[in-house]
Amino acid sequence: MFGQIHGFLNNFYKYRFLLLELIKKDIKAKYKDSVLGLLWSFFNPLLQMIVLTIVFSTFFGHRIPNYPVYLLTGRLVFDFFANGTRGSMSSIRSNASIIKKIYVPKYMFSLGVVASEFVNFLISLVVLIMVMIATRAPFYISLVYTIIPIFLLIILIIGVGLILTTLTTFFTDILYLWGVMITMLTYLTPIFYPISIIPDKYIFFFKLNPIFAVVYTCRQCIMYNSFPNIHYILYLAAWAFASLIIGVYIFYKYQDQFILNV
């Protein structure tokens, strides 16, 4: 297994130029024929935040200080996970014509999608900064600690993405099943509601969700001037690196069969 990870890293270094080209390709494809182009990465989270704040601030605004920042932080993190994993799933099938003609490390297609979604995520953070300024939210030094949960989130997305890519190449139904799972995770993650409204006997199930750990720790850093909870960070790290190891293992094990199924 560790030999496979070593090979993964060696190939990554050798074909690192390809990753940049795939990022450009994915971003261009995503905004093809769009007048606003990359600006949608800016307007989309802003418009979502405005609508959801209007709807849910009536119910939860009095319980959560600076509800727009609370909502947007959770929304951006969750959308990065959802878009990154969904994009990875079809990365092999959508690049079948290339795979059949020349040799390239196949995992690069999945990584390219994750990297392009990370670019969109970074652009969306500009919206968060603007909302913080507009709502007069303080900018704490603890903001720099968000690097920790975001880094682990990237590892998690890559790992889950490789697993889903492998499964989807053989079973296209996984595309629809994962769509259902993302919907379930939306409600199992406190994006627009406070976790305090969940009865104690059910909180355990919500905290099993690794995206909960990312959202919670990011909010700690951004809104509450706190170092991220070490227990959540360790839990998230376990999920992230376990997913990466499993993802690399099964991807390498079955990648030679991809060409027969795309």
Distance (Å, whole) CA 110 – CA 166? 10
Q: Please report the pLDDT score of residue 18 as a whole number.
A: 76
pLDDT of res. 104:
76
Q: What is the distance between the alpha carbons of residues 129 and 134, in angstroms, rounded to a whole number?
A: 9
Cβ-defined contacts of 130-133 (< 8 Å, 24+): 130/46, 131/46, 131/49, 131/68, 131/69, 131/72, 132/69, 132/222
Residues 6 or more apart whose Cβ sits within 8 Å of residue 144: 221
pLDDT digits 0-9 by tens, 188-212: 999 988 888 888 888 888 889 999 9
| CB burial of residue 76 (10 Å; 0-12, 13-18, 19+) | buried
User: What gap in Å lies between CA 154 and CA 63, rounded to an integer?
Assistant: 31
pLDDT by position in tens, the chain (length 262): 555 556 666 777 777 777 777 777 777 776 666 555 566 666 677 777 777 777 777 777 677 888 889 999 999 999 999 999 998 988 888 877 777 777 777 888 888 899 989 988 998 898 899 999 999 999 999 999 999 999 999 999 999 999 999 999 888 889 899 999 999 999 899 998 888 888 888 888 888 999 999 999 999 999 999 999 999 999 999 999 999 999 988 998 888 888 766 6
| Closest CA relative to residue 106, chosen from 154, 166, 28, 170 | 166
Spell out the domain ranges in the chain: 2-260
Q: Which of 74, 161, 59 is nearest to 117 (CA)?
A: 161
Which class for 156: exposed (0-12), middle (13-18), buried (19 or more C-beta within 10 A)? buried
